[in-house]
Amino acid sequence: MLFRTVIRPAMFRLSAQDPENAHHWVMNGLAFASRYPLLLKLIKVANMYRSPSLERTLWGLRFPNPIGLAGGFDKNGLALPALAALGFGFLEAGTATRYKQPGNERPRIVRFSAESALINRMGFPNDGADEIAARLAQQPQPVIPIGWSIGKSKVTPQEEAIEDYLYSLRKLNPFADFFTANVSSPNTPGLRKLQDKQPLDQLLQALVEETEHIAQQAGDQQAKPVLVKIAPDLTEGQIDDVIDVCLSRGVRGIIATNTTLARDGLRESTTEIGGLSGRPIHARSLGVVQYLCKQLDGRLPVIGVGGISGPDDAMRMFDAGASLIQIYTSFIYEGPEVVKKMNRALAL
């Protein structure tokens, strides 16, 4: 209530010129809180909703609830303890790249408040795998599952993409419970081409083999799961190809979906470049999850993401067959209350 009536209007007004400013204020606050156990406790008391009926186990990992934060919010893993204290059941950090990069020119996030939507063209601004890993080594890690999303650095030529992803995987391995190969952001030139069958096959084979190699060296029974995140703009034929590759290469789950290049659902036409997220993409993301789950028939878990704004959307994703869900844009528009609301409804 407080978020929607006071905090959000104030933050949106103060960041009208560049909505990304609001993101950095929130991130700074959460990163600060992450360093103080007492503050984390207070955040937990205000936000956490627990119920044994919400617990899930996947890939041998225990999720206290099935609602996660989607990739892109905490790109550098600066505020994971505070984000966990807000009540999420798991977090996807990143997308991180091998090389530190500034991303696209600002402003690069546009709000469409009437539709609870955003267009972003961030382009993976992040500190790079080395710096991120060095910092994480000094920080306490939250106890919920953490996935690290990895992507291709802008400066890396397409032919060297696999080595680029592998570098980040190796660096972030000590801090990840699972990895997501992000091949679906529309804001890195050529990235989405990695969703085509042959390059996807080569990339995912290399990533899975690397996790197996790491597990073998460490004497672990099980390699860490590698997941792949896909765009909502794929045709059914392309989704079939992704499924084939995932099943043959030992990928352990599919995250659907990233942002869309389509502009359906916006009231006014726009020339803004980037990926659209939020309410307008829900129907499309849900359709992709439904199709995936039907084709997979339980052979791989699917994480549903895209325009989930409340309990009804969440239920629809689970009814479609999603094992877990993630949110991003509704977290911006509704605040942390949305996580609690969904968990409370799911626990009934």
Ligand X SMILES: Cc1cc2nc3c(=O)[nH]c(=O)nc-3n(C[C@H](O)[C@H](O)[C@H](O)COP(=O)(O)O)c2cc1C
Residues in contact with ligand X by the rule CB under 6 A: 70-72, 75, 95, 109, 118, 120, 122, 124, 149, 182, 185, 229, 258-259, 277-278, 281, 305-308, 327-330
Give whichever of 124 and 167 is closer to ligand X, judged by the CB atom.
124
- The span from the CA of 91 to the CA of 333, in Å, is 18
What is the closest distance, in whole angstroms, from the C-beta atom of residue 145 to ligand X in the complex?
16
Give whichever of 40 and 171 is closer to ligand X, judged by the CB atom.
171
Give whichever of 40 and 336 is closer to ligand X, judged by the CB atom.
336
What is the closest distance, in whole angstroms, from the C-beta atom of residue 129 to ligand X in the complex?
14
Give whichever of 133 and 342 is closer to ligand X, judged by the CB atom.
342
What is the closest distance, in whole angstroms, from the C-beta atom of residue 329 to ligand X in the complex?
3
What is the closest distance, in whole angstroms, from the C-beta atom of residue 38 to ligand X in the complex?
30
The set of residues, in sequence order, having a beta carbon less than 8 Å from that of 86 and lying 6+ positions away, is 43, 47, 48, 336, 339
Q: Are 20 and 313 in contact (CB under 8 A)?
A: no
Give whichever of 34 and 149 is closer to ligand X, judged by the CB atom.
149
Query: Is 323 annotated as catalytic?
Result: no
What is the closest distance, in whole angstroms, from the C-beta atom of residue 277 to ligand X in the complex?
3
Catalytic choice (15, 153, 184, 185): 185
Give whichever of 40 and 73 is closer to ligand X, judged by the CB atom.
73
Among 100, 120, 117, residue whose Cα is nearest residue 109: 120
Residue 328 CA neighbour count, 13 Å, CB half = 26
Give whichever of 72 and 87 is closer to ligand X, judged by the CB atom.
72
What is the closest distance, in whole angstroms, from the C-beta atom of residue 304 to ligand X in the complex?
10
SS (H, E, C) the chain: CHHHHHHHHHHHHHCCCCCHHHHHHHHHHHHHHCCCHHHHHHHHHHHCCCCHHHCEEECCEEECCCEEECCCCCCCCCCHHHHHHCCCCEEEEEEECCCCECCCCCCCEEEEHHHCEEEECCCCCECCHHHHHHHHCCCCCCCCCEEEEECCCCCCCHHHHHHHHHHHHHHHHHHCCEEEEECCCCCCCCHHHHHCHHHHHHHHHHHHHHHHHHHHHHCCCCCCCEEEEECCCCCHHHHHHHHHHHHHHCCCEEEECCCECCCCCCCCCCCCCCEEEEHHHHHHHHHHHHHHHHHHCCCCCEEEECCCCCHHHHHHHHHHCCCEEEECHHHHHHCCHHHHHHHHHHHC
What is the closest distance, in whole angstroms, from the C-beta atom of residue 306 to ligand X in the complex?
4
Which residue's C-beta sits nearest to ligand X? 72
Residues annotated as part of the active site: 185
